[in-house]
Amino acid sequence: MAKKTAVNIWTKAELNKLKKEYSKTDTQALAKKLGRTLEAVRFQAKKHGLKKTKSYMQSLYKAAS
């Protein structure tokens, strides 16, 4: 049987920070800042239709090459 984990409800302030910073911030860094898991941040971002900016994605691509 799957282990049940407590769900921490996101506050308005946390969601506002997520919406403001997600598109241009490293997700891992944002998760740490919010005190949330990477999965939780990704899930909320997807739920709210948030995406990374094109320039942010290009900067990742340039850093990797």
What is the SS3 assignment for the chain?
CCCCCCCCCCCHHHHHHHHHHHHHCCHHHHHHHHCCCHHHHHHHHHHCCCCCCHHHHHHHHHHHC
**pLDDT at res. 61:** 87
pLDDT in tens, 3-33: 666 778 999 999 999 999 999 999 999 999 9
Backbone angles phi, psi at 38, to 5 degrees: -60, -40
User: Which residue in 53, 26, 54 sits closest to 41, CA to CA?
Assistant: 26
The confidence band for 63, taking pLDDT boundaries of 50, 70 and 90, is: confident
End-to-end CA distance of the chain: 44
